[in-house]
Structure 1
Amino acid sequence: MSGVLRKTFVEVELPSTPRLAILRHGERAYPEEACGFLLGPWDGRPSERRSVRTVREAANAKTEERTHRFVIPAPEVLAVERELEGSGETIVGYYHSHPDHPAVPSEFDRDHAWPGFAYLVLAVERGHARELGAFELDPETGTFEPRRLFPLLPLGDSR
């Protein structure tokens, strides 16, 4: 892919309010996967940080294997994009949970990801949020690369 930067950001800014919303959504959806949108400012140009201002829950369109698969319906993605037009915010990434699995993207996740977006994966063990990881898909290698979450807060910190 010519003209695409290999690393478009190094960290994801995730304040406590959207962070807690993701944790609660993952715990509530357990034992199925939760999924949703990361919303924030981004003009499409490379920058050091993806800033998440809000999150929005999404429907999991998977009809089977919902304990370890999710798909956000394309019409829902388009509706969110249209709603955000002119607001100064856009979809900067996506989040989902991994019930009783590590907070790392799966092969299925990789096959359904796009470069340039932040991907947050929440490990939920026996109904409790345990770990949150941040990743970006490398457009050259097709692998997920870890990214820092900022600020560094314990999962349950509501400050």
Structure 2
Amino acid sequence: MLKLSESIYNAMRKHGEETYPHECCGVLLGRSHDGMNVVEDALRASNTRTDSAHNRYHIAPQELIRIQRQGRERGLDIVGFYHSHPDHPAQWSMTDFAEAHWLGCSYVITAVEKGAAQQTNSFRLTGTSEDDKSFEDETIQVEELVAGRC
């Protein structure tokens, strides 16, 4: 299960709308326990793909290292990644699978149709190595914002 706040969920979806017709991408920071990835922050990343930004994304290694360091300074780990699929379903592609390497992490995909965020799905990368990795559908639990709560 992937657990995150309504504001983080909405921010990921808005990011996809803002970058349309290109894919957006970002990193989810939080904690993983009891089979659940709990997201405490979503950091936007630059899509460095210049050849196919409309249907591919890439986060530069330097940016990923910087984000990972920021998380560690706050006591958080990388628990997932997100990206958008412009005018395409919120389902992982063979390219998404081939480029997914962070076992145990959640991979969130939002379908953005004609500039508007639609379906958002999450897939957990399971397995013990590249040889037996697989994506499993993952439930997204969005915590609603409650007025008056800090």
Tell me the TM-score normalized by structure 1. Answer: 0.83
**Which of 10, 30, 50 is 1:20 aligned to?**
10
Counterpart for residue 113 of structure 2? 125
Equivalent pairs counted in the alignment come to 142
Moved more, 139-148 or 72-81: 139-148
Counterpart for residue 60 of structure 1? 47
Counterpart amino acid of 2:123? Answer: F
Structure 1 gaps of 5+ residues are 1-10
Query: 1:70, 1:105 → 2: CA distance?
Result: 13
The 5 Å alignment of 1:107-146 reads: 107-114=94-101, 115-139=103-127, 141-146=132-137
String of CA shifts for 1:62-91, please: whole Å, max 9, x gaps. Answer: 111111000101110111112222421121
Query: 1:138, 1:39 → 2: CA distance?
Result: 18
Counterpart amino acid of 1:84? Answer: G
1:139 Cα deviation from its structure 2 partner = 2.1
Secondary structure (helix, strand or coil) at the match of 1:26 reads helix
Tell me the TM-score normalized by structure 2. Answer: 0.88
Counterpart for residue 22 of structure 2? 32
Q: Which runs of 4+ in 1 moved over 3 A?
A: none
Counterpart for residue 8 of structure 1? none
1:53 Cα deviation from its structure 2 partner = 1.2
1:121 Cα deviation from its structure 2 partner = 0.4
Counterpart for residue 93 of structure 2? 106
Across the aligned residues of Structure 1 and Structure 2, the Cα RMSD in angstroms comes to 1.7
Query: 1:38, 1:151 → 2: CA distance?
Result: 14
* Mapped pair 1:150 → 2:141: yes
1:152 Cα deviation from its structure 2 partner = 7.6
Identity of aligned residues (%): 34
8 Å contact kept, 2:55–2:86: yes
Secondary structure (helix, strand or coil) at the match of 1:65 reads coil
8 Å contact kept, 2:6–2:143: no
Secondary structure (helix, strand or coil) at the match of 2:49 reads coil
**Which of 37, 41, 62 is 1:50 aligned to?**
37
Counterpart amino acid of 1:59? Answer: S
Structure 2 gaps of 5+ residues are none
Query: 2:92, 2:24 → 1: CA distance?
Result: 14
